Amino acid sequence: MTPKVSIVGAGIAGAGAAHALDEAADVTVFEAGTVGGRMVSGHRDGCVYDYGANYVDPPNDRVEERFRSIVGKQLAVTTGDVWIFDESGEIEEGRPNQGVKLTGRDGIDEIVRAFLDASGATVQEHTTVDRLARTADGWTVVADGERLASDAIVVTPPTGDLLASADWEADFRETLVAARQRQSYRTIDSVALHYPFEIDVPYYALVNTDKEHAVGWLSRESCKPGHVPDGEEILIVQLSPAWAAGRPDATPTEAADAASTHAATLLGDDRLAEPDWWDHERFTHALPGDRVNPALFEQALAHDLGLAGDWLAGTGRTHAALETGLDAGRRLAGNR
C-alpha cells in the first residue's frame, strides 16, 4: 500500500518535500494561505511584482538545471546586477560575475507551483492545520475539522505552535519545541511602488551593505520579463529590520510613505516620492536567526517527522529552503 504523507506549508520547502516524495507516497499539502509562502507575487493593472523573496539564485549549475527542467518556459531570468549602497546613500557597483537570478514570468510563486504540480501532490490551499497527533503507526492531521491519517508528516512553518500543542508523548517533542522557540526572526516591511514612467538606472537592485540605512533592499520589477509593461516601473522597497523593530505598530501607509521618500532620496528622483499606487506586506518571519541544530532533523525522522524550511537552513535564501524540503522528502521516502 502506498504510504500517505502530509505536508504542512506550501512554500518552497514544502513543495520540495512533495517533489522528492513524488511516486513514493500519496502526498497532501496543507496551506493556510496561498501557495508560495514568502515566494509571493502580486498582480495589479497588468503588472506582476515579487514583494517577498525577490528571486532564486541557484548556487551551482546542477541546482539551476533543476529549476529549468521543472519550471520550463515560465521561468524568467532577471536582467541587471545588484549594486550596493551605504548608510549615507552612496551607490557603487556590486560584485562582478553575479549569478543568474530566477523568477516566474507570472511571478516567483510560479516556481513553487511548478514543483507542486510536478510532484502530483494534492494541495489544499486556505486550509488551516489545527492539530497534530502522534499515533501508533504514524500521525493524524486535523485540518479545518477534518481528520487525515498519515504515515508521516513534514512540518515547514516558522512557528512551533503546532508541535507545542501536538498530542505527542515524547521527550523529543519538548526538545524540538524549545529549539524552535529559541530561534529568532527579523521582521521586514516590503512595499511595491508603481510609477507610470520608466526609471533610467544601470542596475537591477540595490542592497545596503552596512545595515545602517532605513532601506535594506530596492529593486526594479521591469528587469523581470513579463512583469511590468513598457513605460512603467514598480520598485520593491524592503525597509530594514531595524526600521520595523523601531516601529512595531507602523501602518501600511506609514511604511509606504517611508519607502517612497527613501527611494526618492536614494535614487535622486523627486518623482519617486509620489507613486500612483502601492502595495504592502509585513513579513514577521522574514529572516531566520541562527540555524537549528541539524541533529534535530535526524532525530525527527525516527518519529516519522520531516523538518524543512529556512528556519532549519538558518538563512533566508530560497534555494536553501528548497534543499531542506528535498532532503526531508528523500529521507522519509527512504524510511518507508
Q: What does 31-58 look like in DSSP terms, one character per residue?
A: -SS-TBTTS-EEEETTEEEE-SS--B--
Residue 2, judged by CB atoms within 10 A of its CB (0-12, 13-18, 19+), counts as exposed
Q: What does the mean pLDDT of the chain come to?
A: 93
Q: What is the predicted pLDDT for the residue at 315?
A: 75
With respect to CATH, is domain 4-335 assigned 3.40.50.1000? no
pLDDT for residue 142 is more than 90: yes
pTM over 0.95: no
Residue 336: pLDDT band with limits 50, 70, 90: low
Residue 183: pLDDT band with limits 50, 70, 90: confident
Residues 311, 313: Cα–Cα separation, whole Å: 6
Residues 225, 223: Cα–Cα separation, whole Å: 6
Q: What is the predicted pLDDT for the residue at 158?
A: 66
Which strands make up the sheet holding 138-143, listed edge to edge?
A: 129-135, 138-143, 146-150
pLDDT digits (tens, 9 = 90+) for 217-254: 999 999 999 999 999 999 999 999 999 999 999 999 99
> Is residue 271 helix, strand or coil?
helix
pLDDT for residue 160 is more than 70: no
pLDDT for residue 123 is more than 80: yes
Q: What is the mean pLDDT of residues 171-195?
A: 90
Q: What is the predicted pLDDT for the residue at 294?
A: 84
- Are the CB atoms for 241 and 216 separated by under 8 Å? yes
pLDDT digits (tens, 9 = 90+) for 264-322: 999 999 999 999 999 999 998 877 877 778 899 999 999 999 999 888 877 778 888 99
Q: What is the mean pLDDT of residues 116-141?
A: 95
Greatest Cα pair distance, the chain, in angstroms, is 65
Q: What is the mean pLDDT of residues 84-91?
A: 96
Instruction: Give the CA-trace dihedral at 156, 328, 15, 225, to 10 degrees.
Output: 100
Q: What is the predicted pLDDT for the residue at 159?
A: 60
> Is the pLDDT higher at 310 or at 40?
40
Residues 115, 16: Cα–Cα separation, whole Å: 7
Q: What is the predicted pLDDT for the residue at 134?
A: 96
Q: What is the predicted pLDDT for the residue at 227?
A: 98
Q: What is the predicted pLDDT for the residue at 67?
A: 95
- Are the CB atoms for 205 and 217 separated by under 8 Å? yes
What nine digits make up the cell of 38?
Answer: 514568502
| Domain parsing of the chain, residue ranges | 4-335
Q: What is the predicted pLDDT for the residue at 130?
A: 94
| Across 10-14, 20-24, 94-98, 185-189, least confident range | 94-98
Q: What is the predicted pLDDT for the residue at 330?
A: 95
pLDDT digits (tens, 9 = 90+) for 41-78: 999 999 999 999 999 999 889 999 999 999 999 999 99
Amino acid at 215: V
